[in-house]
Copies of this chain bind each other. A is one copy, B any other.
């Protein structure tokens, strides 16, 4: 079951390599850009968030990411507003595009087609077109993410040193892929957390991996999940472990972390959180990020997390690609807005 989607995810490093070669910017990004803000929803929006976290954390480049309709007032007019939507027809992203254009911002587009590419053509906006080869937007992440990096290269906000990190990251993902032949970590993890509500714990800069993991668990595995960020989680979420033991039996804690922690305070916090959750009868597991830079850490964790979500769908005997409720809601929005 879900063989096709599993293969698509498994090919993440191959798709990134292909995208890096194939994707081209149409038009030119304006000069005097001092930052980029990505706007997009769900599987498309997460691409902007990964780029944002990586580049802010390691390099201090002004890259922001929003899942919103309105453009935050404090963004400078020299920020390139970049709309990302795989389909090009996401209602919220089209509204954000309209708000950005009407607001006099510099605007760019990343999409496979739809209304968003039409707007880009009409308004002569710089845009990158993604091949329309994926069944679901969330499967197109390797392309959307690589397109976001290409857009940043074109603005000269980043250069070869970041490109080298991206290549290192692809190498890391190939290594993870090879490792799966001898040790099917995603399957083992899925079996351990089956039939639980999943409480994901992580820390900056791995947060985008936790958010994507939640999205994949929601959409592919149809399970309930939440994200807690350490150290903030130590000041409130930790109290969820005083919940009654019957509820706690339904919870699996999954910690997304590096093998070797850089920050001692975070390491102590993780160990204590684990100790408390285990004492109270919850399932506790770890998902390890690999690679030598923040981007590799984030994407290797996403890679494994995505595979876990498919394995979990297989165990539950459900179709990972079907998302009836999202389609239903989108239909409601479309029909109500254009009435």
Residues of A within 8 A of B (CB): 41-43, 45, 56-62, 67-70, 72-74, 91-92, 95, 195, 197, 199, 204, 214-215, 218-219, 222-226, 229, 231-232, 234-244, 247, 250-251, 263-265, 268-269, 272-273, 276, 323-326, 328-330, 332-333, 336-337
Contacts and interface: CB of A to CB of B under 8 A. Distances in A.
Contacts of A243: 197, 222-224
B329 A238 contact: yes
Given A67-B232, A229-B67, A329-B272, A323 B263 contact: no
A325 B333 CA distance: 43
B95 A265 contact: yes
Given A265-B69, A336-B264, A218 B231 contact: no
A224 B199 CA distance: 10
A321 to B, nearest CB: 12
Contacts of A237: 218
Contacts of A60: 72-74
A327 to B, nearest CB: 10
Contact of A236 (B219, B276, B333, B336): B219
Contact of A265 (B67, B244, B333): B333
Please state the number of chain copies in the assembly: 2
A19 to B, nearest CB: 22
Leading 4 A-B pairs by shortest Cβ distance: A60-B73, A42-B235, A226-B226, A67-B232
Contacts of A57: 72-73
Given A69-B263, A232-B67, A276-B325, A74 B62 contact: yes
14 contacts: A56-B73, A60-B72, A60-B73, A61-B74, A62-B74, A67-B231, A69-B263, A95-B265, A197-B247, A218-B240, A224-B240, A226-B226, A234-B333, A273-B329
Classify the secondary structure of A's interface with B: helix
A195 B224 CA distance: 17
Contacts of A59: 73
A61 B75 CA distance: 10
Given A199-B224, A264-B337, A276-B325, 12 more contacts: A69-B263, A92-B265, A214-B236, A218-B237, A222-B242, A222-B243, A224-B243, A236-B326, A238-B325, A242-B325, A264-B336, A272-B329
Contacts of A333: 234, 265, 268-269, 272
Contacts of A42: 232, 235-236
Nearest to A333: B268
A247 B224 contact: yes
Contacts of A251: 224
Contacts of A195: 244
A67 to B, nearest CB: 4
Contacts of A265: 69, 91-92, 95, 333, 337
A268 B337 contact: yes
A104 to B, nearest CB: 14
A208 to B, nearest CB: 13
Contacts of A244: 195
Contacts of A224: 199, 240, 243, 247, 251
